[in-house]
Structure 1
């Protein structure tokens, strides 16, 4: 398996996963800044290039992994598909619904496999929550609160309000919409750090018989790394998930259930979400699994993410409805 990894920012998280896989024999990293490429070569031992066209059209490349700025996702993915490549696209899929449809149309026209890095779908804690909702293990879900907090760990990502919804909250919106559907009401508010570096946002989503709140902050100091989780309140229990991780997504995770009988820790399978997502992508390319993260499955969460993005970046008077 030869992979073209495009991007030296969040692409480092993917690089860390590929470096530990014996079935990935060759990774070539594209970037625009030689100094960043040199660091990736030192850290992971991968070849690097500044020639995007040559890399995308290289006949020996099996998968193009796109970790470029989001506004470049659609055109780059379409070029790669027309060059006969399967494609993994870092979330969010695109910056507009029209671009998302262009990617899907090209996928259908070329017959290529296309994946969106909806990594949170592979989180063991999220998998448990989805199963609990589906089998009514604790009764109806009444409230879902998600929280994501991080330092600025990825070069080139300031995570101000102009990117908070797109780069940091999208995965949580995917979890919420998969469990509760499209919200009836959306309320979003946010604040920004000095010079636009870092921000914090709160989003409240209203449903006929439930509510959801998604909070995110990128104002943390470097030693804080990444922390977050969720609290899911059912009629018969509360599930609380907490995680601490670094820029690669690796770290510790705990899930507890509190019922009328008391509180206990739920044993979760090993594995972190990014690595499990890439496991799935490579298994699909080998014909062992069916694609669970096709672009079409990301549209509902993308639509909500774009709505929240516009509210956080619009004048305050237009942020509520």
Structure 2
């Protein structure tokens, strides 16, 4: 298989996964900055190019992995599928619901596979939470708190209020909506760092018989790295997940169950969600699995993400 990887920023996390897979024959990386391309070539041994059009239309490419800036996701995904390629799009899928639907319609019209990098669905801690809710092993889920905190680890990427919901909170909203559905009420507050460098937001979500809260901050100092997790309160227990990581993406972290019987750690598989997500994509393309991260499956979270984004920025949909 030959992969076209578009983007030299966050695309490096995907590049590390491809480099470790023996079933990937070739990876070509597109970028705009020769220095960044050289760094990737030196680190992973991948070919590089600054010619996006030639790479998208290259008949030898099987899958195009889009890790470009968020406003470009939908347009490039459509171009890729119209060029006869399958496409993996970094989250979020689009910056409007109309653009998201355009991607979905193009996938239907062309018959190509489209994937959205909902990597958090492959987190062992999140999978455990989903299973616990499904089989009600701790009773009913009453409240879910999800938190993410990060330093500005990507050069030139400020994560101000104009991008915090889209680029940092979207995966958290996917977890909440997949467990509790669309909220009945949404309350949002945000603040921005000096010069738009970093921001923080608190989002409280109301449901008829449950509640949720998502908080995110990109105001942390560089040594802090990235940390987060969730606290899920059931009628019979509390599940608490904590995670810390670096540029290469979240690890398994720790998960603890608190019940009337005491405190008990939950064993988690030592699995990278990014590696598991890409593995799933390749399994689908090989006919070994059904697509768990199709664009239609991301729409509920995208609706909430865009709602919060518009409230944080003061822009209308």
Q: Give the TM interval when normalised to the shorter protein.
A: over 0.9
User: Size of the alignment, in residue pairs?
Assistant: 316
Does 2:260 align with 1:292? no
Partner of 2:217: 217
Partner of 2:309: 309
CA contact under 8 A between 2:86 and 2:113: conserved in structure 1?
yes
Does 2:69 align with 1:69? yes
Q: How does 1:109-258 map to 2 (within 5 A)?
A: 109-251=109-251, 253-258=253-258
CA contact under 8 A between 2:123 and 2:252: conserved in structure 1?
no
Relative distance call for 1:250 and 1:180 in structure 2 (3 A) is closer
CA contact under 8 A between 2:251 and 2:271: conserved in structure 1?
no
In structure 2, stretches of 5+ residues that fail to align are none
Partner of 1:82: 82
Deviation at residue 33 of structure 1 after TM alignment: 1.0
Partner of 1:101: 101
Partner of 1:55: 55
**Where does structure 1 differ by over 6 angstroms across 4 or more consecutive aligned residues?**
none
In structure 1, stretches of 5+ residues that fail to align are none
Secondary structure of 1:277's counterpart equals: helix
Secondary structure of 1:138's counterpart equals: coil
CA contact under 8 A between 2:120 and 2:171: conserved in structure 1?
yes
Deviation at residue 48 of structure 1 after TM alignment: 0.7
Partner of 1:38: 38
Deviation at residue 257 of structure 1 after TM alignment: 0.1
Partner of 1:273: 273
User: TM-score scaled by structure 1?
Assistant: 0.97
In the alignment, the residues of structure 2 paired with residue 156 and residue 175 of structure 1 have an alpha-carbon distance, to the nearest angstrom, of 28
Secondary structure of 1:219's counterpart equals: strand
